[in-house]
């Protein structure tokens, strides 16, 4: 699996216990295993990770992006 890098805004989606998502230019990525520092609503970030086609989620809000690293943006 190859890594991708996506920039956007982190938001908590209200499904079940809550799911963290990255909203980027109209696309929504569900964040898998985001570190606590990334779990902040309205945080601008660039997330690098792998799209996990083999993972099913309750929220099903978009592709599942397994977080490998991230950087906060201004």
For residue 54, the surrounding DSSP H or E stretch is none
Q: How far is the C-alpha of 58 from the C-alpha of 16, rounded, in Å?
A: 8
Any residues with CB less than 8 A from the CB of 59 and at least 6 apart, and which?
Answer: 13, 15, 16, 19, 30
Domains and CATH numbers, the chain: 4-72 (2.40.50)
Mean pLDDT, range 48-54, rounded to an integer? 96
Contact 22, 71 (CB under 8 A): no
Confidence check: pLDDT of 47 > 80: yes
pLDDT digits (tens, 9 = 90+) for 13-39: 986 678 999 999 989 999 999 999 999
* Model confidence, pTM: 0.90
């Amino acid at each position: 699996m190859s890594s991708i890098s996506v920039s956007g805004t982190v938001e908590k989606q209200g499904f079940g216990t809550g799911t963290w998502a990255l909203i980027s230019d109209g696309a929504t990525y569900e964040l898998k295993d985001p570190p606590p520092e990334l779990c902040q609503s309205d945080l601008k970030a660039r997330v690098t990770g792998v799209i996990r086609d083999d993972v099913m989620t309750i929220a099903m809000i978009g592709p599942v992006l397994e977080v490998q690293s991230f950087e906060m943006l201004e």
